Amino acid sequence: MTEMITAAAAGTWQLGDLTVNRLGFGAMRLMMKADGSPSDRDQAIAVLRRAVELGVNHIDTAAFYVSSTRSANELINTAFGGRYPDDLVITTKVGPGLNPLTMRPAEYGPEYLRSQVEENIRQLGRDHMDVVNLRIGDGLDRGTGSLAERFGVLAELRDKGLIRHLGISNVTASHLAEAQAIAPVVCVQNQYGLTVRRDDDELLKLCGEHGVAFVPFFAIASGTENKQVNAIAAERGVTASQVRLAWTLHQGQHVLAIPGTGNPVHLEENVAAAGLRLSDDELARLDSIQ
């Protein structure tokens, strides 16, 4: 019988004093299917429970991960009935809020951040958040201004015990330096993948030098499909998504993956990528992609 590959196969990293497997789970895709139709609620809850069974102990979420029928935080709370596994780390992000007119995320100022943190805590049925990322900018456009005032608000909440560790999202290297001057930063979460946002290669390396986790989102979905990716997937008998995830994890021990899905089959495939080791030749072929 083939041994089941779990998220532990990817190795671990420390988010402050919290140990996580480097293959985690992103909750955004739980609200709806790829075609935009509502997700199956029971299946989404089952996927969350199965993810933990498969060794996932890092879940990324946000209070603004909502649709007309679903809330990611409510699904997470329901899946575990408020009795979370002791080693489960839940990361959220604040900064954007949900514009009531457009029902899309919009960025708000420092005065809104405390209520966002408290709302995440309430929705998840917890007394604090493990990690809170300050997300800046609009959509995928990174803000160019200072984050000091907003990050300072989160640092104060950390001092009060509402937050255990802090991170930043959708940022540049200068934002990282600015945040680190205020309080310890345990992670940077940016869009990044094999064929998109490769201008962040240097930021990824910088995070490693500082012992900060680099956590790409959209690592699978980013970019169009590629012949080299498909060829390596065929040669190895795996999916293109698994190749992309494996490449992501190969970028450094401090790089964490948080693929999201509401499909139990895709979940199993994503977790299995934790055990996929690419050869030097395969990595070179992938790195040659322009």
So what's the architecture of 19-224+252-277 in CATH? Alpha-Beta Barrel (3.20)
Active-site annotation holder among 65, 84, 112, 192: 65
Give me the residue spans of the domains in the chain: 19-224+252-277
Helix (H) or strand (E) holding 249, with range, is: helix 240-249
Residue percentage of the chain with pLDDT more than 90: 77
Q: Look up 192 and say whether it is catalytic.
A: no
pLDDT at 92: 97
User: Is the distance from CB of 41 to CB of 53 less than 8 angstroms?
Assistant: no
Q: How confident is the model at residue 1 (pLDDT cuts 50, 70, 90)?
A: very low
Looking at per-residue pLDDT, the higher value among 111 and 277 belongs to: 277
Which two structure tokens, joined as six digits, stand for 233?
Answer: 């997937």
Which DSSP string do the residues of 209-241 spell out, in sequence order?
Answer: HTT-EE--BSTTTSS---HHHHHHHHHHTS-HH
Q: What is the mean pLDDT of the chain?
A: 91
Res 17 pLDDT > 70: yes
Which DSSP string do the residues of 1-61 spell out, in sequence order?
Answer: -PPPP-GGGG-EEEETTEEEESB-EE-GGGSB-TTSPBPPHHHHHHHHHHHHHTT--EEE-
| Cα–Cα dist 98/103, whole Å | 6
